[in-house]
Amino acid sequence: MTQFLDACYRAIVKQATSIADTMTAAKADDLRPLSDKRLVLLIGCGDSYAVAEYGKWALLMLGFNAISVSPPELQRITIGSNCAVIGVSASGRSLVTTEALEFAKSLGATTVALTDNPDGRAAQTAESVWQTRSGVDSYNISPSAPTTAAMAYLLALASQLPSPVQGGLRHDCQILESRGKEIIQWSEGQGIAISKLVKRGDLLYLISDGPNYVAAQIGMMKLNEFSIAKGVAAVREEFQHHYNLSIGKDERAVLVLDDPVSPKDESFSKIVAGKLNMRTYLLHTDALDLVTPLAQAIPNTIALQMASYHVVQMHDPSKSGFKQPHADAFRIY
């Protein structure tokens, strides 16, 4: 194993403790800057864009009017003092996220940075900082622990305010905080099984909707980062409308499902495996006793991180870094 892959794996395993460490840091008072806002916008890039999508679901459950957008899209939206912008940047280095926070602040919007790096550019720009505690010692690897730490922070916040799902969220937070090692073991087992679906140069569809679509998005990114196979995240309804028409022979898909699996899920999976003749894997947290899709998305995300890691171990165990010069083609930090 190379130093690069070893660091990637250690960061994934670190989630056994980083999720609990972060959840205990989240306080209900953190949500005060959002309390009187007409609109809450969550922004981020890469994994952080998926976290912004996750935050949208968390805040919608609490009754906030929340949307997630890519940072440059902020300039296409009418914002002002009755808006809040949450910039998600694990490393705090994202140039466009920082620029978007500066833009929002210039228009009077309240700004918050959700970051793992309190000394980063994002934290220095925003008025408030929500700090995660991933415990990683490098951000120059495939992101894992900082991503789920940000998700866990948002989940913990959501569990602390009254809502129709507060009881379920609190139940799930207790599981995520107390069963970290078990969750990592479950995730690795799922990841190894999924990795056996993937061959070099293959395309893997990751199909879901709702909060679990965030796991599909991140799974897609992990596959693409390691340059072994290509990932495509698809919203289930969109897959049924047009992705299905392009499916070729022996293509593969992971269905990221809410738990318990519904009759509609079973029917969908049978069509994908039968009529579309795709090799499929059903990913859902049946063994972990989680009751809300918002919480289930976190172990599902870790499972897909593990899957991509094991794909690399099978096909390119000497990998020492990201694909160059593609990694340097765009200035993102």
Q: Is 106 a member of any domain?
A: yes
CA atoms of 147 and 56, how far apart (whole Å): 15
CA atoms of 131 and 317, how far apart (whole Å): 34
**Two structure tokens written together for 159:** 């569990």
Q: Is 53 a member of any domain?
A: yes
Q: Do residue 35 and residue 144 come from a single domain? A: yes
Residues contacting residue 235 through CB under 8 Å, at least 6 positions apart: 207, 208, 209, 213
| Count of domains for the chain | 2
- How high is the pLDDT of residue 326? 81
Q: Is 325 a member of any domain?
A: no
Q: Which of 249, 299, 320, 257 is nearest to 278 (CA)?
A: 249
Number of Cα atoms under 13 Å in the Cβ half of residue 8: 26
**Tokens 């009529």, located at residue:** 275
Written as tens digits, the pLDDT of the chain (333 aa) is: 899 999 999 999 999 999 999 999 999 999 999 999 999 999 999 999 999 999 999 999 999 999 999 999 999 999 999 999 999 999 999 999 999 999 999 999 999 999 999 999 999 999 999 999 999 988 888 889 999 999 999 999 999 999 999 999 999 999 999 999 999 999 999 999 999 999 999 999 999 999 999 999 999 999 999 999 999 999 999 999 999 999 998 899 999 999 999 999 999 999 999 999 999 999 999 999 999 999 999 999 999 999 999 999 999 999 999 987 787 888 788
CB 72 within 8 A of CB 115: no
Q: Is 26 a member of any domain?
A: yes
CB 117 within 8 A of CB 5: no
Q: Do residue 102 and residue 223 come from a single domain? A: no
Q: Do residue 207 and residue 129 come from a single domain? A: no
Q: Do residue 206 and residue 295 come from a single domain? A: yes
Q: Do residue 243 and residue 170 come from a single domain? A: no
Q: Do residue 127 and residue 208 come from a single domain? A: no
Q: Do residue 129 and residue 212 come from a single domain? A: no
Q: From residue 53, how far is each of 105, 231, 277 by CA, in Å? A: 21, 18, 31
- How high is the pLDDT of residue 331? 79
Q: Do residue 160 and residue 196 come from a single domain? A: no
- How high is the pLDDT of residue 106? 98
Q: Do residue 131 and residue 208 come from a single domain? A: no
- How high is the pLDDT of residue 89? 97
Sheet of 66-69, strands arranged across: 66-69, 39-43, 83-88, 110-115, 128-131
Q: Do residue 129 and residue 246 come from a single domain? A: no
pTM of the predicted model, to two decimals? 0.97
Q: Is 210 a member of any domain?
A: yes
CA 44 to chain centre: 11
Structural domain containing residue 169: 3-178
CB 153 within 8 A of CB 23: yes
CB 310 within 8 A of CB 198: no
CB 243 within 8 A of CB 204: no
- How high is the pLDDT of residue 325? 78
Phi, psi of 312 (to 5 degrees): -65, -40
Q: Do residue 142 and residue 190 come from a single domain? A: no
Q: Is 295 a member of any domain?
A: yes
Number of Cα atoms under 13 Å in the Cβ half of residue 266: 4
Looking up residue 206, the CATH number of its domain turns out to be 3.40.50.10490
Q: Which amino acid is at 251?
A: E
Q: Is 43 a member of any domain?
A: yes
- How high is the pLDDT of residue 140? 84
Q: Is 326 a member of any domain?
A: no
Q: Which of 262, 252, 251, 211 is nearest to 235 (CA)?
A: 211
- How high is the pLDDT of residue 211? 98
Helix pair 293-315, 145-159: axis angle to 10 deg: 170
What is the chain's Cα-based Rg? 19
Domain final residue, candidates 178, 198, 223? 178
